A and B are shown apart, each in its own frame.
Chain A
Amino acid sequence: MNAPVSTAQLLYEGADWDFNTLMRIHDACEVVAVRDLGLDYYTNRIEIISAEQMLDAYASTGLPLFYRHWSFGKQFAQHEALYRKGLRGLAYEIVINSDPCLSYVMEENTATLQALVIAHAAFGHNHFFKNNRLFKEWTDAKGILDYLEFAKGYIADCEDRYGEIAVERVLDSAHALMNYGVHRHHRRAIDLRSEELRERERRAHDEQMYNVLWSTLPERSAGASAVANDVEKRRAMLQLPHENILYFLEKSAPRLAPWQREVLRIVRNVAQYFHPQRQTKMMNEGCATYVHHRILNTLHAEGQITDGALLEALHSHSSVIMQPDFDDPRYSGINPYALGFAMMEDIERICREPTEEDREWFPDFAGCGDPMPVLRHGWAEFRDESFILQFLSPHLMRKFKLFHLQDDVAQPVLRVDAMHDERGYRRLRRALAKQYDPAWTDPDIQVVDVDLSGDRRLVLEHRVAAGRLLEEQEARQVLRHLASLWSYDVLLREIDPQTGASLREHAVSPPR
């Protein structure tokens, strides 16, 4: 479009590519990423895979290696059926939060798509993984691949020793509780490598210390030690209330075998690894989309890719960030790519050409000229919920024509509570942020008590927010899984957090 460029400078021409092309594209992207965007990322590893392998990767939640379970087979079958019918395309890439950072790219992609994907995943997501506070605190990028290898081997080993069915039963139960297998508040960076070592050592130690003489000791007579039946003391000893149900079971369930505890631990660690991704989906995609947009435009401006290539990239780009209106049949929630990218661009606009309104709302950085430090700070220190609270501007709310609908099932009508106007901005922003907060979207369920000296019944509480009770049938199914791990009765109380009144109770006994 501007100065004519000589083809000698072009990274590639046409749709075909080979390894050298990918190498050149990567290096060119790297120059822009470092010089213009100041990104900081893990070393890249790009792996080329076929469509079938992409389906494989889908089935195991995007991880390159994972233990075996029927539910992954189910997902694979589902994706495959949709893919074969042409109802759904495949993603261009999958990227793994690991060090080195793994990006899987499809062999079918054209050279332009590969450039887009490399800029998006290998630089955008990669930077986000390395710098975002949640990922830093909760995941161990260096250890994850080794840990997955260990987990896969461990579970396969258990299947050999105890049978597929027995292992499957534990995994089923653990999966049902997976969302309640994460620490939300304590802060401890987990070191997966030592995790794996610890398990090996413990097993070796057990085997070494085994002495058949111990089994000949007479059993200690029951009731010898007087059990202090003090509820407070018991709760303190068991660290109750506990929000991490899987952790609690792993440590305190009375009748689990050591290998079963280890399986729970594996599921829990995987859940923990994915926990930051759930909380930063919108930002993460926004960051990656913004990065690929900037990089590809820069490459074009420097004459490294052709006009046609840029148009092809923009075509993909704009279909990714498409946001249908709420009354559109295609609408299925707010598109994280659309909102994410729009917020990043909006921050760039506020830095470069702020309006009076922006200066009033964002006095810290409006008109500062260079958006990159602001963005990098945002990407590092926030998650979706807080990012929206901090950075969503009135301009963007108007652009998206957002409005807040209150839906009280007791009322016959829905009420428009706030919209994109002067009086509504802050309320609207708070309501939107809330939708990205797992503490609000997930039911708040905790282990509150257990009668270890009596009938060993486990008591859980669901602190009901805004009158939203649990879906009863599935809740009972999950509780049945919970009871089978706990081995004794389980009671779930749904209580009103204000009054403490019990709204509903579910009691389940373990399967015999």
Chain B
Amino acid sequence: MQILDRRLNPSGRSLPNRQRFLRRAKSLVQEAVRDASAKRDIRSADEGGEVSIPLHGIREPSFHHGGGGTRDHVLPGNKEYREGDEIQRPPSGGGGGGSEGSPDGGGEDAFRFVLSREEFLSLFLDDLELPDLAKRRLVEGSDPAWHRAGYSVAGTPSNLSLARTMRNSLSRRIALKRPKPEAVAALEAEIAALEGQPGTEDKIAALKAELEIQLRRSQRIPWIDPIDVRYRRFEPVPRPVARAVMFCLMDVSGSMTEEMKDLAKRFYTLLYIFLQRRYKHVEIVFIRHTHEASEVDEETFFHSRETGGTLVSTALEEMRKVVADRYPPSDWNIYAAQASDGDNAAGDSQRTARLLIDEILPACQYYAYIEVGRDGEHGMPGFPRGPTDLWRTYEQLVSAGAPMAMKKVRNRREIFPVFRELFAKRGLLEEAKA
């Protein structure tokens, strides 16, 4: 009888099976994840959760009886039936509630299970990619990687290099002429053979002296000496770390309603999650603007109200300053997302376009413009609404080949699709176009 405590065994024994399952059902699960994420709140967008996938895709078939033929049920709990009674067939589920009455009839047609946050995100962001290569940079204080760097005479026992140690020991033993055990044994055998034979006393004495020397030598010269011991040496090598900064630019003038801000916030959150998965270190800068711009904290950014006109160029100017001050483009991967209802002062378009082309876009990895509007605002009968000022400005830039993306969002539902579209893998996008 033995009692073993297995609780400390590594957990997650079935993880490889789970990964195989997710791979197997990938397309189904991905679809389910998209559906689920479209419905759920952005704040919980990066949580795991229950998804359900159609069962037919992951069924394991086996031979069993279908309907038809004669079946027998032996059931407990008879109350009023007598032999020969006839009972109306229950409308569904086979006979008399028997468990094996209808293997084909019952059963759920959906398979529900829980995905972890990691799994959820990786499935959700699976076919998305960051535009442009990430810049890597050595940063102070990041944890170094350890590389092998020869051998040393000191170290921890776990790093003991047995092969090197034994090689040293062997060469030392040869150099110092430590007798091999076989040589000693051969001497002893020779002595034993001569022992008792007449006229060999001298020889025996000589051999014994020789043996004496050999034995003493093998005692003096150790098999392994501390000077033989070598350890594998490791050297710290600083690891390049990719860092990213995300600029959130938003128009907070009176024309932006809470609803619109909420839409923008959802987009920023998604972008943040996405960046966090790709970079070890992500910083966020919030810049809000009316007719003047300032860097603020998140709370102020989303919730405090401002009044004033709308000058988009001020925000870009502020961003340029911040970049110049703290985020040199050579060290940082810079992402910017701008949200606005599309208003801009009439004379500002020129300046905005110039700033973008000359200063902002060259420094950025990616620049996305999200135009938010109220649901149902567009296409209202009698009030045809053309593209906004800002949209027109940016459209000209894009058609001239500027590396930026722009999208309109009118409803929460559109946030996920728009986000996916902006970051779809280029290959996929081109395939889709072709």
Contact = CB atoms under 8 A, between A and B. Distances in A.
A327 to B, nearest CB: 7
A206 interface: no
Given A326-B76, A403-B74, A431-B74, A46 B2 contact: yes
B73 interface: yes
A403 B98 CA distance: 12
Contacts of B25: 70, 74
Contacts, number: 273
A107 B76 contact: no
A168 B25 CA distance: 13
Contacts of A168: 20, 24
Interface in A19-52: 19, 22-23, 26-27, 30, 43-50, 52
A333 B93 CA distance: 13
A472 B66 contact: yes
Nearest to B23: A70
A68 B16 contact: yes
A30 B6 CA distance: 23
Interface stretch (A277-285, A311-319, A347-355, A415-423): A415-423
Nearest to A328: B77
B63 A179 contact: yes
Secondary structure at chain B's binding surface: helix, strand, loop or mixed?
loop
B109 interface: no
A22 B24 contact: no
B127 to A, nearest CB: 20
Interface stretch (A77-85, A186-194, A227-235, A286-294): A77-85
A435 interface: yes
Interface string B60-92: 111111111111111111110111111111000
Contacts of A55: 14
A254 to B, nearest CB: 23
A467 B70 contact: yes
7 contacts: A46-B2, A46-B3, A48-B3, A71-B21, A73-B17, A333-B98, A470-B63
Instruction: Give the one of B13, B25, B75, B94 with max A CB within 10 A.
Output: B75
Interface in A46-64: 46-50, 52-53, 55-56, 59-60
B101 A407 contact: yes
Interface string A140-153: 00000000000000
A266 to B, nearest CB: 16
B362 interface: no
Contacts of A428: 74
Given A23-B3, A416-B84, A70 B75 contact: no
A398 to B, nearest CB: 10
A45 to B, nearest CB: 5
A68 B21 CA distance: 10
Interface string A481-504: 100000000000000000000000
B50 interface: yes
A408 B71 CA distance: 6
B2 A469 contact: no
B78 A332 contact: no
B197 interface: no
Contacts of B60: 71, 172, 175-176
Interface in B187-228: none
B101 A332 contact: no
A30 B20 CA distance: 43
Interface string B1-18: 111111101010110111
Interface residues of A, number: 100
A470 B65 CA distance: 4
B111 interface: yes
A409 interface: yes
A178 B60 CA distance: 11
Secondary structure at chain A's binding surface: helix, strand, loop or mixed?
mixed
Nearest to A406: B72
Nearest to B87: A414
Given A180-B63, A408-B71, A415-B85, 19 more contacts: A22-B3, A48-B5, A56-B13, A59-B14, A68-B17, A168-B20, A323-B76, A326-B75, A326-B97, A331-B77, A400-B77, A402-B74, A403-B75, A404-B73, A407-B94, A414-B87, A424-B83, A470-B64, A470-B66
B95 interface: yes
Interface in A321-340: 323-328, 331-334
B94 to A, nearest CB: 7
Instruction: Give the one of A26, A172, A178, A331 with max B CB within 10 A.
Output: A331
Contacts of A50: 7, 11
Contact of B11 (A19, A53, A179): A53
Contacts of A477: 59, 61
B6 A47 contact: yes
B129 to A, nearest CB: 25
A471 interface: yes
Given A176-B60, A419-B83, A414 B96 contact: yes
A125 to B, nearest CB: 15
A320 interface: no
Given A22-B3, A407-B101, A474-B64, A401 B86 contact: no
Given A53-B13, A60-B14, A445-B63, A420 B78 contact: yes
Contacts of A465: 69
Contacts of B4: 45-48
Given A407-B94, A423-B83, A74 B21 contact: yes
B83 A331 contact: no
A161 interface: no
A414 B113 contact: no
Q: What 10 A-B pairs come out closest when comparing CB atoms?
A: A325-B77, A73-B21, A467-B69, A333-B99, A471-B66, A73-B17, A77-B113, A468-B69, A477-B61, A326-B75
B20 A73 contact: yes
A507 to B, nearest CB: 16
Interface string A346-376: 0000000000000000000000000000000
B112 interface: yes
Contacts of A172: 60
B38 interface: no
A30 B1 CA distance: 10
Contacts of B71: 406-409, 466, 468
B114 interface: yes
A225 B18 CA distance: 51
Nearest to A415: B86
B100 interface: yes
